[in-house]
Structures are given as C-alpha cells and as structure tokens.
C-alpha cells in the first residue's frame, strides 16, 4: 500500500461546500487503496484576516501571541475537514502541529523544523484512519510554545511529513492547474509546465512565484520528495517537480518561467567614503539588523568625488529596522545620507537551459527596452536573470517578456478560486 500526502491550500477549503468537496476527493484517494495524510491551510483569507485583527488591537503584536492566534486558522479547517470525511463513512483524525510531532526552533513567525516525530499520525494510519495535520505550525520543546513556519508554511509541513513518512508523492492542491510559465493572474496566456526541476522551482519561488513555498522545495530537494502541484478543482494532472525534467531524452527548456515580485525595497547609502573596508562596514551593520539582502550595486557618487553610492534590495519588512541601524551608524561611518524606496519591482526569468544558452540576457533587455521599461539594477545566477524596475510597470513588463520569449499559449489559463491575496 502506498502513502500519499495531500496538501490543500486556503482557497481550496474556503467555505463549507469546498471542505466537503475536498473531503470527497481525499476519500477517493483512500478508496483507491492508499494511505492518506492530509495537510490543510486556514480557510480562504483567514490568516490575513487574523493578522489584520491583531494589528487593530496592537501596534506591535507580541510574536508569541501572534502564533497562538494564527494557528487557530489551521485548527478550524483541520477539524472541519475531519468531520466532513467522517460523514462520508471514513475514519479521520485531525492533529495540531505539536500533536503531529512537528518540532521547531523557537523563532516565532518564522520557525524552522528541527525534527518530525509523527507517532500519532502513524498510529492513525495503522488503524486505517486518514490523518489530517494542521499546516504551518509546530512546537518548541524548550519554550514549550506553539510556533508558525512563516507565510505559506503549510507546503513545508506537507513536504516534511512526506519525507519522514516515506510518501510516494506529495501533492500540493491549489487554485490553478499547476506551475505556470508566469502567474496566470498576471499573464492570462501563461502555460502549465508539465515538469520542473527542484532547482528551477527554487529560483521561481525565490523570484516571487508563490504557488509553492521556497522552503518546501528546499526540503523536497534535500529528501528527494517528488512534488505534484495541481488543482483541487479538476482531476487534471498538474506539474511534477523532481530532480530531472523527465529522463535524459527531454531537453531542458531555456526559459521555464517569468516571475514578478514587489515584496522588496531598495536602500541607497549616499556618499560613502571610497576607501577599502567601507562596504564591509555597511553590510556588517545590515547583517546585524537581520536583513536578508538580495541585489547590490555600487556606483560613483553623483554628489561628490572620492565617494560612492551603494544600493541594495531587501524584503520590505526588514526595511525600517535596517534604515534605523544604518542611521545610527551614519556619523561614525562617514556616509552622507540614506534613501529608502519601496516602489520597486523585480522581474526574473528562470530556466535550467540558460546555462548553455548565451544571449538570454540580450533577448531580455531587448524585450524590456521594446516595452519602454527602464532597468535600475541587474543580477544573475546560473539559471536566473533578475532586473529591478518601478513597481507600477512590473505587470506590463512580465507580460511583455513572457510574449517576447515565445511563452504565450493559445488559450487563457484558468484561475479557479482565491483572491490572489
């Protein structure tokens, strides 16, 4: 008997009829002779609504209490789903993250899994039940507190369970038919990928394609878990994510996809003394503020000879803290001023075949200039090129680049549900 882990995202369990539909689907898999472990997210936009609520009662909500609050979302959906399955005549048991043995470190809001001991999940399976595990949550044994894994963390819960339980596949059910060449909400003519490698999916996720969480992909790659991203609204086959594209005979596509991201901001440190050690000093301060920087550019200062301007991008949520840390060090470090800009957008093209294909950057820059788009920063990796531009033109730029690389399909992609929030 094989074991299948199925994860259902918020838009797949948004209301009572959806929960019943998902329950029926899970039962189908069980009836086909499989053991089934389910990971479920909070219903619809519940997590966002809870976050809004917290910010209405507190300017800076306490992180421990925030985790207590947010984990209630998944508790609602897991228990409702178990009830719906039981009504179909099958045994089902829901478990919180801690009951399922999801042990994490103590970092509230972004905890990392340190160990998974799903004793009760295994026992439920042994007794023929369907196990339902709350996504996105864990437990820290030192603080004895409940933690959350960060936004989109239910994907990681599912993959972690699939890894330790030795599942045949981890199915990620969502509101689109799979992983597309671009977000179908932005590019209607985006096409579904039959397959993607872990590497490509990691880059796409890092570039802003939120269809699957980056940490889940990392986990899957490390443990060799095959992922199948598909729609919970149809029976169609979705996108398989594994080590290879599907045998040596399949040539790697030059471009797997185009992604856009507006979750970063840019900080420019103006008038940095142009002497050795200054960049090290600045990035030590930035690292001390706990910011995860992405792109860096250094230019001759527009203001003064003998000085340089250093710009870098970082997640918007790290912006304020990093600006404060830099400002505190301004006099001692000797730079002139700081500029904060949170209206940037990052466009990325990703593809394993870029490794062996020169000319992708030329094609990208030609497409962007043809669309009248000004590039502010550029960075590249082996299989990705990213450019920074104004955020308001990002959707147009993604569509233009998608078209220029010949990725537009003949028909519009279907978005089944969700608000894209």
- Residue 301 tokens, joined: 């200062």
Name the residue with tokens 């689109």.
Answer: 176
The nearer residue to ligand ADP, 39 or 322, going by C-beta atoms, is: 39
Contact in structure between 233 and 267 (CB atoms under 8 Å): no
Q: Tell whether residue 253 is a contact of ligand ASP (CB under 6 A).
A: no
Q: Tell whether residue 101 is a contact of Mg ion (CB under 5 A).
A: no
* CA torsion, ordered 27, 32, 35, 40, to nearest 10 deg: -40
The nearer residue to Mg ion, 180 or 405, going by C-beta atoms, is: 180
Per-residue contact track with ligand ADP, 329 to 368, x per CB under 6 A?
----------------------------------------
The nearer residue to ligand ASP, 78 or 344, going by C-beta atoms, is: 78
CA atoms within 13 Å, Cβ hemisphere of 66: 24
Per-residue contact track with ligand ADP, 222 to 261, x per CB under 6 A?
-----------------------------------x----
Q: Restricting to residues 2-31, which ones interact with ligand ASP according to CB under 6 A?
A: 9-10
The nearer residue to Mg ion, 175 or 199, going by C-beta atoms, is: 175
Can you tell me whether residue 180 is helix, strand or coil?
strand
Can you tell me whether residue 347 is helix, strand or coil?
strand
Q: Restricting to residues 11-70, which ones interact with Mg ion according to CB under 5 A?
A: none
Q: What's the Cα-to-Cα distance from 167 to each of 70, 93, 182, 386, rounded to whole Å?
A: 28, 19, 29, 35
Q: Tell whether residue 136 is a contact of ligand ASP (CB under 6 A).
A: yes
Please state, as a whole number, how many other Cβ atoms lie within 10 Å of the Cβ of residue 366. 12
**According to CB under 5 A, which one of 44, 73, 138, 152 is a site residue for Mg ion?**
152
Q: For the CB of residue 156, give the shortest distance to Mg ion in the complex, in Å.
A: 10
Can you tell me whether residue 181 is helix, strand or coil?
coil
The nearer residue to ligand ASP, 40 or 92, going by C-beta atoms, is: 40
Q: Tell whether residue 152 is a contact of ligand ASP (CB under 6 A).
A: yes
Among left, alpha and beta (phi > 0; psi -120 to 50; other), residue 371 is alpha
The nearer residue to Mg ion, 145 or 175, going by C-beta atoms, is: 175
E strands, 79-179, are 92-95, 102-104, 113-116, 130-134, 137-140, 145-148, 169-174
Q: Tell whether residue 47 is a contact of ligand ASP (CB under 6 A).
A: yes
Measured CA to CA, the distance from residue 181 to residue 258 in angstroms comes to 6
Strands 239-242, 227-231: pairing is antiparallel
Q: Tell whether residue 74 is a contact of ligand ADP (CB under 6 A).
A: no
The nearer residue to ligand ADP, 218 or 281, going by C-beta atoms, is: 218
**According to CB under 6 A, which one of 95, 136, 139, 180 is a site residue for ligand ADP?**
180
Q: Tell whether residue 175 is a contact of ligand ADP (CB under 6 A).
A: yes
Q: Restricting to residues 70-129, which ones interact with ligand ASP according to CB under 6 A?
A: 73
Q: Restricting to residues 79-138, which ones interact with ligand ADP according to CB under 6 A?
A: none
Q: Tell whether residue 39 is a contact of ligand ASP (CB under 6 A).
A: no
Nearest to 174 by CA among 205, 130, 212: 212
Measured CA to CA, the distance from residue 332 to residue 367 in angstroms comes to 44
- Binding residues for ligand ADP (CB under 6 A): 9-12, 41, 152, 174-176, 179-180, 182-183, 185, 209-211, 257, 415, 418, 420
């Amino acid at each position: 008997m094989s074991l299948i882990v199925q994860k259902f995202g918020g838009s797949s369990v948004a209301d009572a009829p959806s929960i019943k539909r998902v329950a029926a689907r899970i039962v189908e898999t069980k009836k086909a002779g499989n053991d089934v472990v389910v990971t479920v997210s909070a219903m619809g936009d519940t997590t966002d609504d809870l976050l809004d609520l917290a910010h209405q009662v507190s300017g800076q909500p306490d992180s421990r209490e925030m985790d207590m609050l947010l984990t209630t979302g998944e508790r609602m959906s897991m228990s409702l789903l178990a009830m719906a399955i039981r009504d179909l005549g099958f045994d089902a048991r829901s478990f919180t993250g801690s009951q399922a043995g999801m042990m994490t470190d103590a970092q509230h809001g972004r905890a990392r899994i340190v160990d998974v001991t799903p004793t009760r999940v295994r026992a439920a399976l042994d007794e023929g039940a369907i196990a339902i595990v709350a996504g996105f949550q864990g437990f820290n044994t030192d603080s004895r507190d409940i933690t959350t894994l960060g936004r989109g963390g239910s994907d990681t819960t599912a993959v972690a369970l699939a890894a330790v339980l030795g599942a045949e596949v981890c199915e990620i059910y969502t509101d689109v038919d799979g992983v597309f060449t671009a977000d179908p909400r932005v590019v209607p003519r985006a096409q579904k990928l039959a397959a993607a490698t872990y590497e490509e999916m990691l880059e796409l996720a890092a570039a802003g394609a939120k269809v699957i969480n980056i940490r889940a992909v990392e986990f899957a790659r490390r443990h060799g878990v095959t992922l199948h991203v598909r729609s919970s609204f149809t029976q169609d086959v979705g996108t398989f994510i594994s080590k290879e594209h599907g045998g040596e005979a399949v040539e790697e596509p030059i471009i797997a996809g185009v992604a856009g991201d507006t979750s970063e901001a840019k900080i420019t440190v103006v008038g940095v003394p142009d002497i050795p050690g200054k960049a090290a000093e600045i990035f030590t301060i930035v690292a001390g503020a706990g910011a995860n920087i992405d792109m860096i550019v250094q230019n001759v200062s527009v203001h003064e000879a003998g000085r340089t301007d250093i710009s870098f991008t970082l997640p918007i949520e790290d912006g304020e803290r990093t600006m404060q840390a830099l400002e505190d060090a301004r006099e001692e470090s000797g730079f002139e001023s700081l500029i904060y800009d949170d209206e940037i957008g990052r466009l990325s093209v990703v593809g394993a075949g870029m490794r062996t294909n020169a000319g992708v950057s030329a094609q990208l820059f030609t497409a962007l200039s043809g669309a009248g788009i000004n590039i502010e920063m550029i960075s590249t990796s082996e299989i990705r090129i990213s450019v920074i531009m104004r955020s308001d033109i990002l959707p147009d730029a993604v569509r233009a680049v998608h078209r220029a690389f010949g990725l537009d399909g003949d028909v519009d992609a279907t978005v089944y549900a969700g608000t894209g929030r």
